[in-house]
Structure 1
Amino acid sequence: MATQNTPFPFIGKLGNLIGYRRNKKYFLRSMPEIVRQTRATRRAAQRFGMASKKGALIRSAFYGKLDVRADTSHINRLTKALIPSAGNNTKNIIGFRFNKHTGTDRFFALAPRLSADGILHIPSQTLPAFKDINMLEVKVIATRISFATHQVVNTQSDVLIIDSRKSFSGASFSVDVPGKGTLVVTLQVRGLKDNLPSGNGRSLAADIVAVQPPQTGQVFHKPAYLQHPISNETSNTVYPHFLPFVIQRE
């Protein structure tokens, strides 16, 4: 560590030197020639890179479609949720809040559920009473994301207005977005006062409420012949016996 004795001290990289400030003084140190990484460090870096890439793709899928202003921490929070599985288990992001200060559970005590037939159900329940809210704008945004090709395949959304002063008998939304890839469903709830957005900063929430991994199906290819044919005992005719290959794919 060396002190910068110059009229124009700097902070950052300059060639193979790094300038930095500590206790109102400026210092210099040289960059290491070799950066040694352990196997665990390399794996952690790989997991972070994969999670960061998938997180960016998820954010891009909902960009411009959500009305909530995601707080500045949402990028790191989403990446952190994906890191444990290196982004391979996207179900880890169920419950992720784009606005960390408010969740959709503030409006719906009974959480929505996704059925196998591609329907998102919000159960019948008693809605909470708010002083500055008398209506709820419910938006469901469903997107199909192919992480294999790194692209957003398709997106659809539906909006429902609910009078929070009346009995709520439940609602259903079709989220069966066509295409191949992972289905990610986000529920956005905005509190309204006489059809106008409430001035309350906690009246707008958007959470990822469901994730459905790609469905695998059976694919049959041309038959593969066995080495030993099977004889027909009645006609002495030899027929080649075959079995189809079966593989799994998205």
Structure 2
Amino acid sequence: MAKQTGLIKFTKKVGDLIGYRVGKEHYLRSMPAEVRQSPRTKISARYFGKASTLGAAMRHAAYGLLDIPGEMGLGNRLNRALLGVLRQDDLHHSKTFIPQNFRGLKGFSFNQHTALDEVLTVTPVVTRDFYGNLHVTVPAMSSYTCNPVATHLRIRAVGVFLQPGFTEAAATASEAVLVDVSRPCEELTLVVPAQKGALCTVILEVMCCKQENGRMVMLLNRKYSAAEVIAVLTSRKEPKEHSHAAEPEQEALAGRGALPLVPGLVINFPQRE
């Protein structure tokens, strides 16, 4: 491993050299002359490819909706979590993503330095309405004791909807709500519009803010913000269409004077000889 010290640095393949970045430094390594893979390593590489493809889709879908600063190791952490979801499949010879196994993502943090309960004193509840919209209810807070520096909390909910095939994802977000922590806060509900895809991971983002000279300033310290998966919804109840096909038949039976349904009543019809 060699360190790049020139004015021009690169992070891709150039000839037999590969440039890559670790933190703020750039390094070089040479390409291997031959790569030997056993059957097990080939299978592991295929599983990691599935996890990294879905992880990249989830990150890109959520990036434009989250205000929390990006973290260098987020991609690797999310890929490992998704690889764990994939390995839980015991039903197929070639492991695949199963919706129920995604519940293990609950509690995954987009900021590993701060958990959600370190900036929020209540536990939110997630429900889904008849049309597929997500309702994230934040219970009332009588007092706030998490961060003495913050004067307000900026709360937003993001839903990342995984598409069939688990290679693409789409995301929508609720409106951000500003909560004054100097006074008791009533219960509030954040509504995330529905998107295509039944499987959804719900992320709650809480940013600590401070009011200075009439202006609201976000405290971008990584200890003052959190974004965490608070729920994973694995199914979606679609509206049932009312069928009118059986109505004429039911009306005809009613017109014939159909017998009423009486529990325990047994009727013997004469058999034809």
**Separation (CA, whole Å) in 2 of partners of 1:184 and 1:150:** 15
Report the equivalent of 1:31: 33
**Separation (CA, whole Å) in 1 of partners of 2:44 and 2:220:** 43
Equivalent pairs, count: 200
Report the equivalent of 2:114: 102
Identity of aligned residues (%): 22
Q: For 1:66, what is the secondary structure of its paired residue?
A: coil
Report the equivalent of 1:111: 123
**Separation (CA, whole Å) in 2 of partners of 1:42 and 1:178:** 35
Report the equivalent of 2:43: 43
TM superposition shift of 1:135: 0.6
Would you say the 8 A contact 1:132–1:200 is kept in 2?
Answer: no
TM superposition shift of 1:166: 1.2
Report the equivalent of 2:136: 120
**Separation (CA, whole Å) in 1 of partners of 2:33 and 2:159:** 47
**Separation (CA, whole Å) in 1 of partners of 2:15 and 2:169:** 40
Q: For 1:84, what is the secondary structure of its paired residue?
A: helix
Higher strand share: 1
Q: For 1:202, what is the secondary structure of its paired residue?
A: helix
TM-score (norm 1): 0.67
Report the equivalent of 1:212: 233
TM superposition shift of 1:133: 0.9
Residues 186-209 of structure 1: per-residue CA shift (max 9 Å, x gap): 111111111222364422221122
The aligned amino acid for 2:217 is L
Structure 2: segments with no counterpart, 5+ residues: 1-12, 17-29, 87-96, 242-269
TM superposition shift of 1:66: 1.0
TM superposition shift of 1:141: 1.6
TM superposition shift of 1:65: 1.4
Structure 1: segments with no counterpart, 5+ residues: 1-11, 16-27, 220-232, 236-250
**Separation (CA, whole Å) in 2 of partners of 1:188 and 1:29:** 41
TM-score (norm 2): 0.62
Question: Compared with structure 1, are the counterparts of its residues 150 and 48 closer, same or farther at alpha carbon in structure 2 (3 Å cutoff)?
Answer: closer
Would you say the 8 A contact 1:51–1:83 is kept in 2?
Answer: yes
Would you say the 8 A contact 1:144–1:179 is kept in 2?
Answer: yes
Would you say the 8 A contact 1:144–1:154 is kept in 2?
Answer: yes
Match of 2:179 among 155, 158, 162: 162
**Separation (CA, whole Å) in 2 of partners of 1:73 and 1:156:** 24
TM superposition shift of 1:173: 1.8
Would you say the 8 A contact 2:65–2:172 is kept in 1?
Answer: no
Match of 1:148 among 149, 165, 177: 165
Residues 69-94 of structure 1: per-residue CA shift (max 9 Å, x gap): 12101000001111123254322222
Question: Compared with structure 1, are the counterparts of its residues 134 and 81 closer, same or farther at alpha carbon in structure 2 (3 Å cutoff)?
Answer: same
TM superposition shift of 1:101: 0.8
The aligned amino acid for 2:199 is T
**Separation (CA, whole Å) in 2 of partners of 1:36 and 1:62:** 35
**Separation (CA, whole Å) in 1 of partners of 2:220 and 2:59:** 26
Question: Compared with structure 1, are the counterparts of its residues 53 and 202 closer, same or farther at alpha carbon in structure 2 (3 Å cutoff)?
Answer: same
Residues 149-180 of structure 1: per-residue CA shift (max 9 Å, x gap): 73334523221111111112322222351423
**Separation (CA, whole Å) in 1 of partners of 2:31 and 2:190:** 60
**Separation (CA, whole Å) in 2 of partners of 1:190 and 1:29:** 43
Would you say the 8 A contact 1:136–1:191 is kept in 2?
Answer: yes
Q: Is the aligned partner of 1:198 residue 2:219? A: yes
TM superposition shift of 1:212: 1.1
**Separation (CA, whole Å) in 1 of partners of 2:31 and 2:192:** 56
